[in-house]
Amino acid sequence: MERSGLRSEGGIRDVILHAAIFAAEEMGVVLKRTSYSPNIRDRLDFSCAILTPDGELVAQAEHIPVHLGSMAVGLKNVMREAERLGLSMEEGDVVIVNDPYIAGTHLNDIMLIKPVYYLGRLIAFVANKAHHVDVGGQVPGSIGGNVVELVQEGIVIPPTKLVERGRLRRDVIRLLQANVRTPRYVSGDLKAQLASLNVGEVAVRKLAEKYGVSTLLDTWSWALDYVEAYTRNTVRELGIEGSATGEDYLELGDGLVRIRARVSFRRDSVKVDFEGTSPQVDAPINAVFGVTVAATLFALKSILDPEMPMNGGFERVIEIRAPKGTLVNPVRPAPVSAGNVETSQRIVDAVYKALAQLLPSKVPAASCGSMNNVAVGGRGWAFYETIACGSGGRPCCDGVDGVHTNMTNTMNTPIEVLESSYPVLFIQYKLRDGSGGPGRYRGGLGVIRAFAVLEDNVRVTITGERVKLRPWGLQGGLPGEPAEYLVVRGDGRVEKLPSKATVSLNSGDMIVIKTAGGGGWGDPRLRPKSLVEKDLREGRVTLEQASKYYGYKPSQKNRLDERRGY
Partner 1 sequence: MPRAGVDVGGTFTDVVYVDRGGIRISKVLTRPREPWKSVVEALDNVNADLRQLRELVTATTLGTNLLFGQVHLEKPKVVLLTNQGFEDVIEIGRQNRPSLYDPYFNKPEPLVPRTLRYGVPGRLNYRGEEVEALDIRYVRTVAGRECGDNVVFAVSLLHSYANPRHEIMVAEAIRDECPQAQVVLSSDVDPRPGEYERTSTTVVNAVLKPLLSQYIEALRRSLESRGFHGKLLVMKSDGGLATPEEALRVPAAFIESGPAAGVVASATYSRLLGVENVVSFDMGGTTAKAGSVVNGRPYYTEVYEVGGKVHMGRLVRGSGYPVRYPFIDLAEVSAGGGTIAWVDRGGALRIGPLSAGADPGPACYGRGGSEPTITDANAVLGRLPEELAGGLVKISRELAIKALESLARKAGFTSPFEAAQAVVDLANTVMARAVRLVTVERGLDPSEMSMVAFGGAGPLHAVDIAREVGVREVIVPPYPGVFSALGLLLSDYKKILVAPINMELDEVSEEYLDEVFAGLEAEALEAMDSMGVEKDRVVLARSLEMRYKGQLESIEIPYRGLGEARSLFETLFESRYGFYSPEDPVEIAAARVEAIGVTEKPLSLLKKKGSGGGGGPTRSIRIYLSGEWVDATLYKAEALGPGDSVEGPALVVFKDSTLYLPPGSKGSVGDYGEIRVKV
Q: Which helix (H) or strand (E) holds 174?
A: helix 170-177
Q: Least separation, in Å, of the C-beta of 305 and partner 1?
A: 8
Q: Least separation, in Å, of the C-beta of 563 and partner 1?
A: 6
Gap between the Cα atoms of 429 and 451, Å rounded: 9
Q: Which of 239, 380, 492, 565 binds partner 1 (CB under 8 A)?
A: 565
CB 267 within 8 A of CB 255: no
Gap between the Cα atoms of 135 and 483, Å rounded: 30
Binders of partner 1 in range 32-61 (CB under 8 A)? 33-38, 41-42
Q: Least separation, in Å, of the C-beta of 373 and partner 1?
A: 14
**Buried b / exposed e along 90-121 (16+ C-beta atoms within 10 A):** eeebbbbbbbbbbbbbbbbbbbbbbbbbbeee
Binders of partner 1 in range 308-367 (CB under 8 A)? 309, 363-364
Taking alpha carbons only, the member of 306, 351, 310 closest to residue 328 is: 351
Gap between the Cα atoms of 81 and 50, Å rounded: 19
Q: Which of 56, 401, 481, 509 binds partner 1 (CB under 8 A)?
A: 401
Q: Which is nearer to partner 1, 445 or 497 (CB)?
A: 445
Site size with partner 1, rule: CB under 8 A: 97
Q: Which of 22, 255, 332, 489 binds partner 1 (CB under 8 A)?
A: 22
Should residue 447 be labelled a site residue for partner 1 when binding is judged by CB under 8 A? yes
Q: What is the DSSP string of 410-426?
A: PPPPPHHHHHHHSSEEE
Binding string to partner 1 for residues 520 to 539, with x set by CB under 8 A, is what? -----------------xxx
Should residue 425 be labelled a site residue for partner 1 when binding is judged by CB under 8 A? yes
Contact window for partner 1 (CB under 8 A) among 73-81, 283-291, 299-307, 551-559: 299-307
Q: Which is nearer to partner 1, 286 or 432 (CB)?
A: 432
Should residue 5 be labelled a site residue for partner 1 when binding is judged by CB under 8 A? yes
Q: Least separation, in Å, of the C-beta of 388 and partner 1?
A: 4
**Buried b / exposed e along 19-32 (16+ C-beta atoms within 10 A):** bbbebbebbbebbb
Q: Least separation, in Å, of the C-beta of 351 and partner 1?
A: 12
Q: Least separation, in Å, of the C-beta of 84 and partner 1?
A: 32
Q: Which of 101, 185, 220, 384 binds partner 1 (CB under 8 A)?
A: 185
Should residue 183 be labelled a site residue for partner 1 when binding is judged by CB under 8 A? no
Alpha helices by DSSP H, listed for 392-460, are 415-421
Should residue 249 be labelled a site residue for partner 1 when binding is judged by CB under 8 A? no
Should residue 10 be labelled a site residue for partner 1 when binding is judged by CB under 8 A? yes
> For residue 92, which phi and psi values (nearest 5 degrees)?
90, 0
Burial category of 215 from C-beta neighbours within 10 Å (exposed 0-12, middle 13-18, buried 19 and up) = middle
Should residue 227 be labelled a site residue for partner 1 when binding is judged by CB under 8 A? yes
Q: Least separation, in Å, of the C-beta of 232 and partner 1?
A: 9
Should residue 239 be labelled a site residue for partner 1 when binding is judged by CB under 8 A? no
**Helix/strand/coil percentages in the chain, nearest 5:** 30, 25, 45
Should residue 298 be labelled a site residue for partner 1 when binding is judged by CB under 8 A? yes
Q: Least separation, in Å, of the C-beta of 68 and partner 1?
A: 8
Q: Least separation, in Å, of the C-beta of 447 and partner 1?
A: 7
Should residue 417 be labelled a site residue for partner 1 when binding is judged by CB under 8 A? yes
Contact window for partner 1 (CB under 8 A) among 147-155, 301-309, 460-468, 522-530: 301-309
Bridge partners of 485, per DSSP, are 497, 513
Burial category of 496 from C-beta neighbours within 10 Å (exposed 0-12, middle 13-18, buried 19 and up) = exposed
Contact window for partner 1 (CB under 8 A) among 10-18, 255-263, 459-467, 497-505: 10-18
Could you tell me the end-to-end alpha-carbon distance of the chain, in angstroms, rounded to an integer?
A: 55
Q: Under 8 Å CB-to-CB from 371, ≥6 apart: which residues?
A: 341, 342, 345, 386, 387, 404, 407, 408, 463
Bridge partners of 94, per DSSP, are 163
Helix, strand, or coil here: 127?
strand
